Structures are given as C-alpha cells and as structure tokens.
Amino acid sequence: MTGQERRNAIVDQIKQSGVPVSGKRLASDYHVSRQVIVQDIALIRAAGHDIISTNRGYILNEPYRVSRTFKVQHTDEHLEEELFSIVDLGGRILNVMVNHKVYGHLEAELNITSRRTALRFLDDIKSGKSSPLKNITSNYHYHTVEADSEETLDVIEEMLAQKGFLIEQDLVEV
C-alpha cells in the first residue's frame, strides 16, 4: 500500500466511524508507527480535509457531500467552459474516466475545486505535459462531481445538458 492509498483509507475509515479513531488504532490497522499517522494526518489536512484531533482520537469535520457521475462529450475548446461551469455552480470535479475499447477503464484524479485549480490543470494541458484523457475516446468521458446537495448536482446536470455536453447514460456501471 502506498502512502497515498493509506491516507485515502484513513480518511474513509475516519469518515465511516461513528466514534473518534485513535492514532494508535490507525497505526495498528495500517502497520505503521504512530509518527507516520501524525504525518499522514498533516498531509490529509493539507489536502483539504478538516480532521480534528480530540483526546479520544481523530474525527472528520466535513459537511455532508453527495456525488454523481456525468457522461459528457466536448472538444478541447470547450474544456475550460465545462470545468469553470461545474465549479462555479458549487461542484468539485473529483476525476475523469474513460472506457477505452482496448485499454478498458482508465481513470485519473483531478480534484478541481475552483477556477484556480481548473486553470492549473488547463495550464498543464496547454504546456504539452499531456493531452486530455477524453481524446482517446472521441471526446467521450465521465466525471464524478461532488457537491453539497442533490439540488446542486441537479443544477450542474441541467447546465451540462443546456451546453450540449451531457450524454444520456446507459444503465451500465462506470
């Protein structure tokens, strides 16, 4: 298990626990020292999770979040418009996924939460570091978008449809 995988698992464990999770318990569960857990918690906080240390353990202080996966298609020229529109409406773009006929399911974490993080991503694309994953599937791709409510996700879905980006999804798991 990599450090990032461990940190993701720690967040999930704390999120799913109904009671504070002690550092000793986390260290035991992941076969690392208590000091590694302290460092992991610092990195998790730096990544934007509001982890609170109590005398009984760690708790996650995050608002209720919901997510939905959207199947979309657009050209490179509309990439900025898609990303900005989603974050402007309160969405957080967690990832991009494609289903390639040869390579299968490919997914990359994005974690785009604002125009600033969208611009950073777009600058990396424009600099030639890479090209959008959607380009290997004729511009078809999926995004998992997180928001504070189902109503916000409905507004985002409506906007994607109005702009012509949203594709009707089959009843097939992504």
The first and second tokens of residue 20, run together, are 């504070």
CATH code, domain carrying 10: 1.10.10.10
The first and second tokens of residue 152, run together, are 């916000």
Q: What percent of the chain has pLDDT over 90?
A: 80
Q: How far apart are CA 34 and CA 2, in angstroms?
A: 17
Where does a domain end: 42, 60, 78?
60
**How do residues 66-88 score in pLDDT, each as one tens digit?**
899 999 999 999 999 999 999 99
Where does a domain end: 29, 60, 91?
60
Residue 167 lies in a domain: no
Q: Is the same domain home to 122 and 54?
A: no
Give the pLDDT score at 16: 84
Domain of 10? 3-60
Q: How far apart are CA 121 and CA 116, in angstroms?
A: 9
Select the more confidently predicted residue: 128 or 80: 80
* Total number of domains in the chain: 2
Give the DSSP letter of residue 171.
Answer: S
Give the pLDDT score at 169: 64
Residue 172 lies in a domain: no
Give the DSSP letter of residue 21.
Answer: B
CA dihedral 110, 111, 115, 121 (to 10 degrees): -30
Q: Tell whether 143 is in a known binding site.
A: yes
pTM tops 0.75: no
Give the pLDDT score at 74: 95
Residue 157 lies in a domain: yes
CB 144 within 8 A of CB 112: no
Q: Is the same domain home to 80 and 157?
A: yes
Q: How far apart are CA 159 and CA 139, in angstroms?
A: 18
Give the DSSP letter of residue 55.
Answer: T
- Confidence category of residue 54, pLDDT binned at 50, 70, 90: very high
Residue 104 lies in a domain: yes
